[in-house]
Structure 1
Amino acid sequence: MNTLNIEVSKDQILGIVQEVFAAMLDMGETLIFEATKPTDPVDSLHAWVDMKLNLAEGPLTARAILCTSEETAQTITRTLLMTGEDEDVSFADLADAFGEIANMVGGNVKSLVQAPSELSMPVVSKEKDMSHEWLFLQDLHLVWRSQPLSVSLWVQSTTN
């Protein structure tokens, strides 16, 4: 199966993430930038959506994964919910907020692919579910409010 039909550049990913964060978290300002040096977050948390694509060559599943620290995901949640810095964040609220950011990023990536497609509900977890065989396509290391965040794109090497 040809995965070249879903090429997405780092510049496209960066533009999508900057638009989503500016609109949803940063009151129109661009406060997320490409990292000069990749840094893995401590106590990482992952949020992803799957895109089921109906390409001319056949069906293909792609995945957009956001990864950041749990602390940064809590900041995202507090910002979206407009709560104070010292307020506790439940995992349910965190999953909703961080999952919604993944949903918005994945939905915008999906719109770049010229094919009928469906977007899954977002999943948030400490572990990436890579239980199927996935092929790496692209990643982008970012910094938001001095905290590391990454976005990676994958395709499933076999379809179910």
Structure 2
Amino acid sequence: MTVLSPMSETFYPQFFEQLVTDYANENVTSGRWMPENALTRSQDEIARSLPQGVATPDHHLFEIRTDVDGQIVGYIWFAVSERQGERSAFIYEVSVFSEFRRQGHARAAFLQLEEKVRELGLKSIGLNVFYHNSAAQALYTSLGYTPTNLTMVKALKAL
């Protein structure tokens, strides 16, 4: 059984390091960032978003575990935001470690996350998914998420 547990101070450095690498790679793969400064840029953005680590107000970080005392198989991070007077959750990151993928952990984590978001009195959950990540898009669609916008970019060749 998959369980969400509040992220521990002990796990946070591993989370931070993995997130920096993954976020940099995703932005390079998508063409948004240049490889030369991607790691530094990623580290700076994440550090700005989580200045107090797991204690950052309105940010909720969880370990995804095989059970309450079980092995950590991934993590999920969301923040509370307010737009036009409505409070909602925005998922900044979800990751299941490669050796644990395709075992239902992400789906179970999302379903448990919905309950936590409801308990906070929030009205919706939003997220961003990189266009090239078709597996994540399929999961989110199967969970009832629908697209609200699409950002498109055209790279121009130098003359």
Name the structure with the higher strand share: 1
Larger gyration radius, structure 1 or structure 2: 2
Compute the TM-score of the two structures, normalised by the length of structure 1. Answer: 0.31
Write 1 or 2 for the structure with the bigger share of helix.
2
